[in-house]
Structure 1
Amino acid sequence: MTVPKVIKHKAIDFFCGAGGMTNGFRKAGIDVIAGIDFDPECKKTYETNNIGSQFILADIKKLSFSEFTQRTKVKRNDANLIFIGCSPCQYWSKIATDKKKSEESKNLLNDFMRFVDYYNPGTVVIENVPGILTKKQESPLNDFFIFLDSKGFRYDKRIINAAHYGVPQSRKRFLLIATRVAPTVKLPAPLIGNLPVVADFIGPDKGFPVLAAGAVDSSINLHATAALSETNLLRIRMTPADGGTRMVYVDDKHLAIPSQFEKKTTFSDTYGRMRWNKPAPTITTKFVSLSNGRFGHPEQDRALSLREGAALQTFDASYQFHGTALRSIARQIGNAVPPLLAKQIAMTIIDQLS
C-alpha cells in the first residue's frame, strides 16, 4: 500500500497575481493555502491553474487579521508556515513609469511586515526588482531588515538573475529568504551549465506555428499577437533577424522614431529582435509591444505572442490565462514570478528546514 505523502510546509502567497510563485511552490510539494491579491482579473487565472489554493480578493492595507485567519485558518507562531511577499514593483522599477500612479505600491512591504509581525511565520520570502534594494534612502527594505533582526530571523539576500536558475531571460531580482526555525539559511545555488536561451523555449520546433502580427493561432492556447501599424510593420521587416535593432533605419526620417532619429546611443533595444541563442530580456507587462523593449520575434515580423511570453516565463503550456484583453493577460504574465525560479526557492526552503 502506498503511504500518502504528508505535506509538512504550507504557505500564503501575498500579492499572488496570476500565481507564478504559488505554482512553483506547489510543484515543490508545499501546500499553498491561499494567494492574496487586489486585482480581480487574476482571480480566474489563479484558481483555474492552482486548484486547492484559494484566491482571496483583498487589499492587504485593509485586510484585518480576523478575516485573514478566518479565510486561511492559519495559526500564529507556526514554524512550518511560509509567508511570501512579492509586492507590485512599479515604483522601484528602473523602467520609466508614472511614479504618482505607482506611489501606492511604494510601501506595500510595510503592510506585508504587519502580517509577518502578527503571525510570526517560520519562514519569509521576498522577491522584488533590484531598485527596492539599491534605492536605499527611499526604500522600506532597511526597516524590514531591522524588523527581521528584532524577531530573531536569520536571512540571506542578494540580487539574482533568473537566467542562472533555468529561466530563459536576463531577469534580475532582489531575493530574500528569512527563517527563525533553521540554524542557517541560503538562497538557491545557481544552476551549473549553459544558460537557457530563447531557442530552448519558443520557435516552430517547440510547437509554436509561424504567426503574423495581429493574428491568432487557434491550435495553441493564447498564441496570439498584437497588431502592428503599417509603419511598425516596415520597421520590423527591415530589422535583421536574430538580434537586429532599430539602428538599421536610425538615419531614415520616414522610419526612425522622431525622438530617436540619428540617435545611436540611447534606447537601442526598443523595436529590436530577440536572439535565438541568448536569454531573452526581462519579460515585462508590455512584452507584446515592439516599442517597449527588445520584444521582436527573432525572425517573424511581429512581437511575441502571449503564449511565447508565458513560455519564456516558464509557465507550463497547459497554464491557462484569463483576462478581458490581450494586454491585460500580458500584464498578468509579465508581473509573475517565473514558476521555475519559484520552485527552486521552495525546494531550497524544504531542504534547509528538513
Structure 2
Amino acid sequence: MSVNKKNAWDKSVPVEKSAYLQDEGIDYFNIDKFSLPQGKLTMIDLFCGAGGFSIGCSWSGFYPVLGVDYLEPAMKTWVYNHPNSIGCLGDIKKLDANHVKQLLESKGVEKINLITGGVPCQGFSRANRKHIDHDERNYLFLEYMRFVETFLPDYIILENVSGLRSTAGGKFEQDIKTHMETLGYSVQVKLLNAADYGVPQIRQRLIFVGVRNNSGLTSPYKFPDCIFNTRESYRTVYDAISDLPELSNGEEKNTYTKSPITEFQKMMRGEGVLPVEAPEQLHNHVAPNHPQETIEKIGNTLPGNPMYPKFKQRIRLDLNQPSPTQLAGGIRPQFQFGHPTQPRGLSIRERARIQSFPDTYVFKGGIVQERVQTGNAVPPLLIHEVTKSIAADILRRDKENENVQSVV
C-alpha cells in the first residue's frame, strides 16, 4: 500500500520546534548578582533573544532589569552580556507577571519605565515558506500585553517584521494597536528601514510605540527622522566588516590586524560616539568549515548574485552595497551570505556587525544557534535612534516633577 508523504513545506504540517526551546519550567539567572546602577532608567525586555533591544536601549540610558526568552542559547547570550541583570528562561505564557513584579520589587526596582518586545515573527514573516495567518506564534503579543497591564510603564515598544502589516488583512496590526490603547497608551506605528538609521543592512521593521496617557510625557510620540536618506548614502558591507581579519576555511582569529577604517567600525570597536567599551579581544570571528564544493561555489559567484539558483536570498554580498535582510534561516540554518572577497560564509562577528552589535557583545551557543540569534535580532543602532527621545522625555518629566515637589 502506498503512503502519500506530505511535503515538509505543506502548511498543514505542524511547524517543527527547536530542540533548544524550554517549554517546561521557568529558570532564573543572575538573581544574586543583580544590581541597579544609580540614575538609570529601567526596562524589561520581553522575547529578548540575544539582546538587540537591551543593548540599543542601554545606549539611550536604559538599564535592562529583566530579559525573558524561551530559546536557551539566546538566553545564554543575553545573560553573559548582562551579568548584573535577571534573565528568565521559559515559556512566557507560563510566567506570572505579578510574581516577576514582586521579584523586581524585592531587588529595589520600584518603577519600570519601558517594556520592549520583539514578539516572534516567524508566523508573519514573508521569508517563512510556511507563513500562515493562524500560526499560534502570531498571538504571543497578548502575553506582552499582560506584562504591560501589570507594570504600566511610561513607554511601551513592540516590533515585528513588515509582514505583520499585511497578515490577515491588517488584523494583527490593528489588534496590537487597540490592545495598547485599551491599556491607556497613545500609540504610533511606523515601518522603519534600519538602513535609514545607519545600520549597514536593508531591514524593515514595523515599530509600535505607546506613551502612557496622563503621565506628563510628550504625546504623541514622534519617530526620528532618517539619518541616511538615499540608498547611495547607506552604510555598506565595506563600512561594516572591512577591518576584520581574513579567514581561511574553518579558521578562527581573536586579534585584530587592522585599525578601524570607517565611522561605523569605530563605533563597533568603542572608538566612536556610542557608549561602547573597546574590546580586549576579537570574539566570534570563526569561518564556517565548508566542503570544497561550497568554497568553489562561493568563489565562482559574482558579488551581489545568488550562489544557488533555487535560493535567491543566499547571495554573495557586494562590498559596496548594504547587506540584504539577514535571516535566522530556520532552526538549523546554513550560512546565508557569502563573503564579498573571500570564498566562505560569514563569521558570527561579521553577521553581528551587519546587525550593529558592538564587538564587545559575545554570542553563545555554537555557530548554528548564533546564526539564529543574529538573524532574529532587532538592530541595536535602530533601537537607539528610536529610544533616544524617549529617555530624554522621561528624564524631562521626572525633573519637572522634582521641581514641583521642591517648591511645595
TM bin, normalised by shorter chain, reads 0.7 to 0.9
Ranges in structure 1 where 5+ consecutive residues have no aligned partner: 247-255, 261-266
Q: Deviations over 1:73-96 (max 9, x none)?
A: 299xx8862111111111111113
Q: Report the Cα distance in structure 1 between the residues aligned to 2:361 and 2:313, rounded to whole angstroms.
A: 29
Q: Report the Cα distance in structure 2 between the residues aligned to 1:300 and 1:327, rounded to whole angstroms.
A: 20
- CA displacement at 1:211 relative to structure 2: 1.3
Task: Write the letter of the residue equivalent to 1:301.
Answer: P
Higher relative contact order (CA 8 A, sep 6+): 1
Q: Report the Cα distance in structure 1 between the residues aligned to 2:97 and 2:284, rounded to whole angstroms.
A: 38
- Do the aligned partners of 2:161 and 2:204 also contact (CA within 8 Å) in 1? yes
Q: Report the Cα distance in structure 2 between the residues aligned to 1:79 and 1:192, rounded to whole angstroms.
A: 36
The answer to whether residue 149 in structure 2 is matched with residue 106 in structure 1 is: no
The answer to whether residue 263 in structure 2 is matched with residue 201 in structure 1 is: no
Task: Write the letter of the residue equivalent to 2:238.
Answer: A
Q: Note closer, same or farther for the CA distance 1:243–1:51 as it changes in structure 2 (3 Å cut).
A: same
TM-score (norm 1): 0.82
Q: Report the Cα distance in structure 1 between the residues aligned to 2:176 and 2:327, rounded to whole angstroms.
A: 26
Q: Note closer, same or farther for the CA distance 1:290–1:202 as it changes in structure 2 (3 Å cut).
A: farther
- Do the aligned partners of 1:30 and 1:346 also contact (CA within 8 Å) in 2? no
- CA displacement at 1:174 relative to structure 2: 0.4
Q: Report the Cα distance in structure 2 between the residues aligned to 1:6 and 1:198, rounded to whole angstroms.
A: 38
Q: Note closer, same or farther for the CA distance 1:269–1:115 as it changes in structure 2 (3 Å cut).
A: closer
- CA displacement at 1:292 relative to structure 2: 6.5
- CA displacement at 1:188 relative to structure 2: 2.3
Q: Note closer, same or farther for the CA distance 1:147–1:200 as it changes in structure 2 (3 Å cut).
A: same
Q: Deviations over 1:202-259 (max 9, x none)?
A: 02xx1x221123332243321112222333222212112x32444xxxxxxxxx75xx
Q: Deviations over 1:264-310 (max 9, x none)?
A: xxx5443x2111121101122249x99775x1111110111111001
Q: Root-mean-square deviation (CA), in Å? A: 2.7
Q: Deviations over 1:302-337 (max 9, x none)?
A: 1111110011111111211111x2101111122112
What does 1:164-175 correspond to in 2, within 5 Å?
164-175=196-207
- Do the aligned partners of 1:43 and 1:55 also contact (CA within 8 Å) in 2? yes
The answer to whether residue 117 in structure 2 is matched with residue 85 in structure 1 is: yes
1:305 to 334, 343, 347: 347
Q: Report the Cα distance in structure 2 between the residues aligned to 1:67 and 1:316, rounded to whole angstroms.
A: 33
TM-score (norm 2): 0.72
Q: Deviations over 1:13-71 (max 9, x none)?
A: 00111112111111211122111111222233212212332111232101113321133
SS across alignment from 2:359: coil
Q: Report the Cα distance in structure 2 between the residues aligned to 1:224 and 1:269, rounded to whole angstroms.
A: 22
Q: Report the Cα distance in structure 2 between the residues aligned to 1:73 and 1:37, rounded to whole angstroms.
A: 21
SS across alignment from 1:201: helix
Hey, what does 2:54 align to over in structure 1? Answer: 22
Between 1:114-123 and 1:299-308, the stretch displaced more is: 114-123
What does 1:1-354 correspond to in 2, within 5 Å?
7=39, 9-73=41-105, 81-98=113-130, 103-137=135-169, 139-180=171-212, 181=215, 182=217, 183-192=219-228, 194-203=233-242, 206=243, 208-219=244-255, 220-240=282-302, 242-246=303-307, 260=310, 267-270=311-314, 272-286=315-329, 293=336, 295-323=337-365, 325-353=366-394, 354=396
Q: Note closer, same or farther for the CA distance 1:221–1:140 as it changes in structure 2 (3 Å cut).
A: same
Q: Report the Cα distance in structure 1 between the residues aligned to 2:291 and 2:40, rounded to whole angstroms.
A: 53
Q: Report the Cα distance in structure 2 between the residues aligned to 1:161 and 1:198, rounded to whole angstroms.
A: 16
Matched residues, percent identical?
Answer: 30
Q: Note closer, same or farther for the CA distance 1:243–1:225 as it changes in structure 2 (3 Å cut).
A: same
Q: Report the Cα distance in structure 1 between the residues aligned to 2:125 and 2:183, rounded to whole angstroms.
A: 29
> How many pairs were matched up?
322
- Do the aligned partners of 1:109 and 1:141 also contact (CA within 8 Å) in 2? no
- Do the aligned partners of 1:213 and 1:303 also contact (CA within 8 Å) in 2? no
Q: Report the Cα distance in structure 1 between the residues aligned to 2:236 and 2:147, rounded to whole angstroms.
A: 38
Ranges in structure 2 where 5+ consecutive residues have no aligned partner: 1-36, 256-281, 397-408
- Do the aligned partners of 1:154 and 1:178 also contact (CA within 8 Å) in 2? yes
- Do the aligned partners of 2:145 and 2:180 also contact (CA within 8 Å) in 1? no
- Do the aligned partners of 1:28 and 1:346 also contact (CA within 8 Å) in 2? yes
Task: Write the letter of the residue equivalent to 1:32.
Answer: P
